[in-house]
Amino acid sequence: MKYFVTTPIFYVNAAPHLGHVYSAVLADAAARYAALRRGRDALLSTGTDEHGQKVRQAAAAAGLPPATLCQRVSLQFRRAFEAADVQYARYVRTTDPDHAHAVQHFWRLLDSRGYIQKGSYTGWYSVPDESFLTPSQVTEEVRDGKKVAISSESGHVVTWAEEENYVFPMSRMRDDLRHWVRNHLDVRPAKFGRLLESWLEADLPDLSVSRPVSRLDWGVPVPGDDQQVVYVWLDALVNYLTASGYPGQLERWPPDCQVIGKDILKFHGVYWPALLLAAGLAPPRLLLCHSHWTVDGVKMSKSLGNVVSADEALRTYTADGLRYFLLREGVPHSDGNFSRKKAANLLNAELADTLGNLLGRCAAAAVADLLLQTVASLPAAVGEAYDEFCFYRGLEAVQAALRSANQFVQLKEPWVLRKQPEREAELHSCLAVAMETLRVAGILLQPVVPSLAGRLLDKLGVRPEARGWRHAERPCPEGGQLGHGSAVLFQKLR
Ligand code: MSP
C-alpha cells in the first residue's frame, strides 16, 4: 500500500538553510520508516515555490529575470536534498508546465462549483509570508526610528494593498472544515491541533485567491482573465496534487503525512482543506507540524548574518551527521537550537564514540561467530517513538542500548580474553552481545542515517534482505562474521 509523504515546497528567494533541510529530512525519515516498519510503498514529494511577490522582488534585487533566479535556486535546493539523502519521487517546481496545468484545472473546478467570486481586497499584505492580513493581525512598531505596521504573527513588515481580485468564500466552508478537523484530521504534536481548532472558532474571512497583473506579473494566469494571476499560496498548495498526477488519474491521494513548519499551519490546516473540500477532494490525513531552529539561541536571519546554509552544514557534518543531529536534537513540539559546538559534541559522542567504538572494538577482536543475545525491547521502544514522529526519543533509546553494550565490552575486555584460550566461550558471548546490539541498532537507524546504517550493516555482514524492521525484532538466527569495509562510521569532528 502507498504511503504518501509531502514536504512544503520552498521559496527560491534565497539559498537553502538548515531549517529547510530539517523539513525535508523529517519527511524523508517518516517515509523511510513507513517503508521499513510497515512495508508501505512510501513516496515523498518535495519541490520549490517559485511564483509570487517575494520571489519577484528577490529576482529584481539580484538584477535577474525571475526565471533565471528560479532555475538557479531551485537547483540548489534539489542538490541540497540529494546531498542529504532525501529520496523524493517527485520534485515539483511551480514553474513546471504540468503544475500550471494542474493549478488552472483546479481553479476551473472551483469556479464551476461556484467557489470563485469577483471581489476586492483593501488591507495589509505581508510579502515575506505572502499573506493577506486582517486588521487584528497587524500591530505597529517603531523600527529604525520609524513607525511601521507589522504582522503580529510573523513579525514581518506589511504593506498596504488595494486591489481587485477573485475571492474564495471561506465562511461557506466553516462547518465542513470543523467537522473534518475534529473527526478526520490527525495533527501532531497535539498542541498544534488545538491551535488549529481555536482558529476555526474565530471568524474566517474570505480568502483572496488572485492578484492583479498590474501588481504582480509573475504567476500562473487565471483561466479566462489575463489581468489576474493565481495567488501564490493557492498555486503552491496545488503542488501536492501535481505530485500525485492531477488532473489525471490520482496515483496517490490524499497525502498520508504532510510535514510543515509551524509558520504555515494555517495555510495547511485551514485554507488547504477548505479548498480541497470545495473541490470535492479528500483533505490530508495527518499534518506533522514542526517547530523552528534557532542558531546559538537567535532566530536565523539574513540581516543578522547567522543563517547556516545547507551547503555548509552538509559539508561540515556529512549527510548522516546532519540528519542525525537534526532528528536527535529536534523535537517537533518546541524550537530547537543549533550550535556548532553542540553539533560536534553530540555527533562525536554518539556516532563516533558510542556507536563507532563498539563496532571498532568488535573489529579489533576480529571474529565473532556466535550471536547469542538480542536487544529485545529496543525495536518496540524505538517503533513507538518513531510512530509519534519523535525520532529523538527513538535515538535516545538506541544510544542507551549502545552505551550499555560499550560498558559491557569494556568490562569484559575481549582484547584480554583473546589471549586466554580457556576463556574462548566468554569471548564469543561478549562479542555476540555487542554485535547483536550493533545489528539491531543498525536496522533501527536506517530511516534516520540511511548511509551510515548501511555501512554499519555491511560491516556486520548483514545481508540486504535481512535489514527489515522484523529482522530487528528477532535475534539473529545465524552466526556472524564481520564483513569488509571500514569500521570508522563517522569521522570525528574537530
Ligand atoms: N513556500 C512556502 C510553503 C508552501 S507549501 C505549499 C514556504 N516556504 S519556506 O521556504 O519559507 O519554508 C519552507 C519550510 O521551511 C517551512 O516548513 C518552514 O517552516 C521551514 N523553515 C523555514 N525556516 C525554518 C527554521 N528556522 N527552522 C525550521 N524550519 C524552518 O513557507
Q: Tell how far the Cα of 488 is from the centroid of ligand 1, in angstroms.
A: 35
- pLDDT reading at 66 higher than 50: yes
pLDDT for the residue 478: 54
Best residue among 23, 86, 262, 275 to mutate for probing ligand 1, ranked by most atoms within 8 Å of CB:
23
pLDDT for the residue 158: 95
pLDDT in tens, 233-247: 999 999 999 999 999
Cell of 268: 495547511
Residue minimizing CA distance to atom 8 of ligand 1:
10
**Lowest pLDDT segment from 137-141, 209-213, 235-239, 319-323:** 137-141
Confidence bin at 377 (pLDDT 50/70/90): confident
- pLDDT reading at 489 higher than 90: no
pLDDT for the residue 366: 41
Note if the bond before 475 is cis, omega within 30 degrees.
no
Intra-chain end-to-end CA distance of the chain, in Å: 44
Confidence bin at 358 (pLDDT 50/70/90): confident
Q: Tell how far the Cα of 22 is from the centroid of ligand 1, in angstroms.
A: 9
Please state the atom number of ligand 1 nearest to the C-alpha of residue 260: 17
- pLDDT reading at 362 higher than 70: no
Q: Which CATH superfamily is domain 339-472 in?
A: Isoleucyl-tRNA Synthetase; Domain 1 (1.10.730.10)
Q: How far apart are CA 50 and CA 66, in angstroms?
A: 9
Best residue among 292, 295, 337 to mutate for probing ligand 1, ranked by most atoms within 8 Å of CB:
292
Q: DSSP per residue over 28-70, as a string?
A: HHHHHHHHHHH--EEEEEEEEE--SHHHHHHHHHHTS-HHHHH
Percent of the residues in the chain that have a pLDDT greater than 70, as a whole number: 95
Q: Tell how far the Cα of 20 is from the centroid of ligand 1, in angstroms.
A: 6
Angle at the Cα of 75 (from 73 to 78), degrees rounded to 5? Answer: 115
Confidence bin at 373 (pLDDT 50/70/90): very low
Domain boundary assignment for the chain: 339-472
The larger pLDDT score, comparing residue 76 to residue 478, is at 76
Q: How high does pLDDT run on average in the chain?
A: 92
Confidence bin at 165 (pLDDT 50/70/90): very high
Confidence bin at 403 (pLDDT 50/70/90): confident
Note if the bond before 332 is cis, omega within 30 degrees.
no
For residue 449, the SS3 value is coil
Q: At what angle do helices 424-445 and 450-459 cross, to 10 degrees?
A: 160
Residue minimizing CA distance to atom 16 of ligand 1:
261
- pLDDT reading at 182 higher than 60: yes
Cell of 239: 503542488
Pocket of ligand 1 (CB under 6 A): 8-11, 19-20, 22-23, 49, 236-237, 239, 260-261, 263-264, 292-293, 300
pLDDT in tens, 440-467: 999 999 999 999 999 999 999 999 999 9
pLDDT for the residue 375: 65
- Cβ(39)–Cβ(292) below 8 Å: no
pLDDT for the residue 483: 67
CA 404, chain centre distance (Å)? 31
pLDDT in tens, 269-309: 999 999 999 999 999 999 999 999 999 999 998 888 999 99
Average pLDDT over residues 121-145: 92
pLDDT for the residue 210: 98
- pLDDT reading at 371 higher than 80: no
- pLDDT reading at 11 higher than 90: yes
Q: Which of 124, 106, 128 has its CA nearest to residue 115?
A: 106
- pLDDT reading at 313 higher than 50: yes
Q: Which helix (H) or strand (E) holds 93?
A: strand 90-93
Average pLDDT over residues 158-162: 93
Best residue among 7, 10, 86 to mutate for probing ligand 1, ranked by most atoms within 8 Å of CB:
10
Predicted TM-score of the model (pTM): 0.89
